Amino acid sequence: MSFQNITVIGAGTMGNGIAHVFAQYGFQVQLVDVQQAALDKALQTIGKNVERQVAKGVLSEADQKATLERIQTTTSIANGVAKADLVVEAATENKELKLKIFKEIDQSAPENCILASNTSSISITAIASATSRPNKVIGMHFMNPVPVMKLVEIINGYATDQTVTEQIVALSKQLNKVPCVVNDYPGFIANKILMPMINEAIYSLYEGIAGVEEIDTIMKLGMAHPMGPLQLADFIGLDVCLSILQVLYDGYGNTKYAPCPLLVNMVTAKKLGVKSGEGFYKYSPGSKELVVSERFK
Ligand code: CAA
């Protein structure tokens, strides 16, 4: 099967990044969101990120124009998926919502269409069970920022056909990404390893072993990570980190995944990181300077 028409469900940070990358590599993209305002904002963000690529010489001005022209938007899932060869769902990380969306996609998408989810931790097998085609459902987990990060973690559900996996591996390579295939268990691989590291960093702060800057500097300069674990947690969203840790804790029943009480408190207090303006650091629009939150000074 050759892919031409890609539908992306959800116009948030991950959805707009995924739409951007598919359009950049020549695919026709339908971007779907229930809110028109989210679609407008996504197009603006894609426009800015494509411009950034032109400024860096990654894209020519002709490519920039063609990339943007390949993206269409709609607020209707049924219309958006009607001609899709592949649907990539990147809606809010909520299991009930995803099951509902997949039921709806399944009813309107062509019979041969492959259905992928960008979920970071919800079971692909559970999502597949909401459809009439579990053998054509797969995880396609992109990393943020999507245009920059090379990895696509591909997750085989319990019933995913091997041919479907092979097609998604080949497609990921067409996007100039590096695919890695894993099996469907809680947190897959990326988050089964990343989230305990982030949780341990938060525990180290909570226990007073070191401060925010010390923890992040040790991991940045000592282990060559581009961001320290606390900055990365702010970048991902502390609510997202908490919800993934809960999936790991429930799924494996092991206390090593129990979320740090400080993380729980911060999410309850709506200190969610970059998106709320404050987490371990304080963020002001337009500034790249890293300022530790007053709470941790
Ligand atoms: N679109 C296009 N290009 C972008 C971009 C975007 N959205 N964001 C950044 N870039 C480009 C910049 O133009 C720049 O390009 P050059 O290297 O050619 O100059 C490059 O990326 C680096 O960006 P910046 O100079 O602005 O900033 P930086 O050097 O501090 O890098 C970063 C920013 C790429 C985000 C880097 O800090 C990084 O890699 N951080 C770690 C990211 C990470 O771990 N992501 C995974 C999170 S986990 C996840 O996503 C999944 C999950 O399930 C939780």
Nearest-CA residue for atom 53 of ligand 1: 120
- Domain residues for the domain of 217 are 191-296
Query: What pLDDT score was predicted for residue 1?
Result: 73
172-211: per-residue pLDDT in tens? 999 999 999 999 999 999 999 999 999 999 999 999 999 9
Catalytic residue selected from 153, 156, 172, 278: 153
Q: Which atom of ligand 1 is nearest to the CA of 240?
A: 54
Q: Which of 130, 149, 183 is the last residue of a domain?
A: 183
Catalytic residue, chosen from 120, 156, 199, 243, is 120
Look at residue 106 and tell me whether its pLDDT is greater than 90. yes
22 and 154 share one domain: yes
**Number of domains within the chain:** 2
> Is the same domain home to 121 and 160?
yes
Say if ligand 1 is within 6 A of residue 135 CB.
no
Q: Cβ–Cβ contacts within 10 Å for residue 43, how many?
A: 17
User: Residue 53's pLDDT is what?
Assistant: 96
Q: Which helix (H) or strand (E) holds 240?
A: helix 238-252
Query: What is the 146 CA–ligand 1 centroid distance (Å)?
Result: 8
Task: Decide: 143 in ligand 1 pocket, CB within 6 A.
Answer: yes
The answer to whether 257 and 248 have CB atoms below 8 angstroms apart is yes
CATH of the domain at 273: 1.10.1040.10
What was the pLDDT predicted at 171?
Answer: 98
The better pLDDT of the pair 285, 227 is held by 227
Of 131, 157, 183, which marks where a domain is finished? 183
Predicted TM-score (pTM) of this structure: 0.96
pLDDT more than 70, % of the chain? 100
**Average pLDDT of the chain to the nearest whole number:** 97
**Which secondary-structure segment (H or E) carries 223?**
helix 212-223
Q: Which long-range contacts (CB under 8 A, 24 or more apart) does 207-215 make?
A: 211/292, 211/296, 212/280, 212/281, 212/292, 212/293, 212/296, 213/292
285 touches ligand 1 (CB under 6 Å) = no
* pLDDT of 286: 87
Instruction: Clarify whether residues 249 and 126 are in a common domain.
Output: no
| 230-258 tens-digit pLDDT | 999 999 999 999 999 999 999 999 999 99
Q: pLDDT digit string (tens) for 6-62?
A: 999 999 999 999 999 999 999 999 999 999 999 999 999 999 999 999 999 999 999
Considering the domain architecture, whether residues 166 and 199 belong to the same structural domain is answered as no
Q: pLDDT tens-digit profile of 25-39?
A: 999 999 999 999 999
Asked which of 165, 183, 201 is the last residue of a domain, the reply is 183
Does the pLDDT at position 2 exceed 90?
no
Tell me if 229 CB under 6 Å of ligand 1. Answer: no
Token representation of residue 98: 């995803």
